[in-house]
Structure 1
Amino acid sequence: MLKVWIDAGHGGKDPGAVSNGIQEKDIALKVSLGIKNRLEADYENVQVLLSRSTDVFLELRDRTAKANAAGADILVSIHCNAGGGKGGFESFRYTSASENSIKLQDKLHKAIMGKLGGIDRGQKAQNLHMVRESKMPAVLTENLFIDVAPDADRLKQTTVINAIIDGHVQGIAAYLGLKIKTVKEDKPVTQPVTTRDINVPSKWATETWEEMTKNGYYDGTRPGAMITREESAIVMNRLRKNILKLIAGVDGDIKELDERLQEIEGEKRT
């Protein structure tokens, strides 16, 4: 079983490049998860391991240490670029890269450009941690520019994200000589996996969320998080008290009405 290590750059408290409504860490994670899904679904004898599968922060040394300990056959670190004028795609190997790293870069770069198109900034060498400290052939890809408007517009398109994923998959498969499965596993491989920020309400729920928070049913935090039975009990009890107020009226005795309701509920249980 061949092992491919995919490193989604940045994450957690480190968003990477941020511009035009996009965070680098989110694109890197989408692409990384997509590569894992498609490689394992479409090819034989390959296992894809990830530095991160969620929005968490990892030190660079931890990323390469884990990849080295796992005995990965290759490493590909996924990033987006910034500060590049006209934008485009480029890839990096270490300044004193092995022959196999150079071959991996060539296969990846050509496959990604073939799928992505646009400006080719070339195959480059640089003293980057991810390609320097990895014991296996390693390449870092910079997939378009977050701060270049035309590139950012492309990165917002599912078809472009899929093209980036497909290019990585094709390049990795070509380098490793992977064989396509005759019968593919039943996995959702047509769309990249997406994640959401639990601290931001969905657009369709924003108005209702704000209204419920204003009325005291929720505290306004973590709108996208799963609700526990304890939390649902609190919300239901708040609703119950408001209904009692409505029944009792402004001048009604809410405490007396609540006690009577509890008596009725007790009688039903007995």
Structure 2
Amino acid sequence: MAKIYLDPGHGGTDPGAVANGLQEKVLTLKIALKTRDILNRDYEGHSIRMSRTSDTTRSLSQRTNDANSWGADYFVSIHINAGGGTGYEDYIYNGSVSNNTITYRDKLHAEVMKQVDFRNRGKKRANFHVLRQSSMPAVLTENGFIDTTADANKLKSDAYLDRIALGHANGIAQALGLKRKSGSGGSGKQGYVEVITPSLWTYNTANWDDKAVIVNEGEVFTVARDKFKVGNGHMYQLKSGLYITASTQYVRYYTK
């Protein structure tokens, strides 16, 4: 039974970064709870413990001591960045680490980047307490910049937080070799995209220059191929054979 420790950064008297009407402590808790729920919905063979499940104050030592005493197999600390940049990055300890620490982080990074259209800021190392003091493989993720308008607008979307959480859940599952529950596919079920902008181009091929027909707000299409990278953006392939942008500015992805 794999033991997963989810650590929503900050909380209680420590709001973390604050900007654009958002608080880091609120966002990290939402992402962590969604990650927990996806793991429990789609995978088996694990147990999950969280440093907090509500807006409570937890010191850094309380978090790592709790994970260490529980005997966690993977420590995942979830944060939102600040400082005027843009994009996603993650960290492991900048000292001596196990091979699993590196492998686990590589899998998590790849799965998060499959789900989001944040700029990829890369895989980094740092001397953070939760990475240094955890006795198991540990990673700290930075999911967009709260003080950058473009990133903040994405973080204001609950559907976008779902995508971030799905990336975390799938990455953790891959790292620990969790088995999918019977009947659970890519994101759990059949995917669909709904157009949420007045009009939108579709494409004949996975090429932004190969425009096909315009679709309209409210139209829903069945996804044949999940989100994949095309140039500087991402697309879905539709059951019809056409392609459509995966940008959450223009479409909403959901399953049923």
**Within 5 Å, which residues of 2 pair with 1:15-94?**
15-85=15-85, 87-94=86-93
Amino acid at match of 1:80: I
Amino acid at match of 1:134: S
Residue ranges of structure 2 left out of the alignment (5+ in a row): 190-256
Amino acid at match of 1:93: I
Q: Secondary structure at the match of 1:55?
A: coil
Q: Secondary structure at the match of 1:154?
A: helix
Hey, what's the Cα distance between the residues in 2 that align with 1:171 and 1:13? 30
Structure number with the higher strand fraction is 2
Q: Secondary structure at the match of 1:5?
A: strand
Per the TM alignment, residue 183 of structure 1 is displaced from its structure 2 partner at its CA by 5.8
Per the TM alignment, residue 118 of structure 1 is displaced from its structure 2 partner at its CA by 2.5
Residue ranges of structure 1 left out of the alignment (5+ in a row): 190-270
Q: Secondary structure at the match of 2:165?
A: helix
Hey, what's the Cα distance between the residues in 1 that align with 2:180 and 2:9? 28
Q: Secondary structure at the match of 1:121?
A: strand
Per the TM alignment, residue 158 of structure 1 is displaced from its structure 2 partner at its CA by 1.5
- Please tell me whether the aligned partners of residues 118 and 144 of structure 2 are also in contact (alpha carbons under 8 angstroms): no
Identical counterparts, % of pairs: 48
Q: CA RMSD in A?
A: 1.3
- Please tell me whether the aligned partners of residues 118 and 151 of structure 2 are also in contact (alpha carbons under 8 angstroms): no
Match in the other structure for 1:128: 128
Hey, what's the Cα distance between the residues in 2 that align with 1:104 and 1:6? 14
Match in the other structure for 1:177: 177
Stretches (4+) displaced over 3 A: none
- Please tell me whether the aligned partners of residues 67 and 134 of structure 2 are also in contact (alpha carbons under 8 angstroms): yes
The CA deviation string for residues 65-85 of structure 1, in whole angstroms up to 9 with x for no partner, is: 000000011000000000033
Q: Secondary structure at the match of 1:93?
A: strand
**Within 5 Å, which residues of 2 pair with 1:78-227?**
78-85=78-85, 87-96=86-95, 97-182=97-182
Instruction: Give the alignment's TM-score, normalised by structure 2.
Output: 0.70
Hey, what's the Cα distance between the residues in 2 that align with 1:183 and 1:40? 14
Hey, what's the Cα distance between the residues in 2 that align with 1:183 and 1:119? 33
Hey, what's the Cα distance between the residues in 1 that align with 2:142 and 2:75? 14
Per the TM alignment, residue 12 of structure 1 is displaced from its structure 2 partner at its CA by 0.4
Q: Secondary structure at the match of 2:160?
A: helix
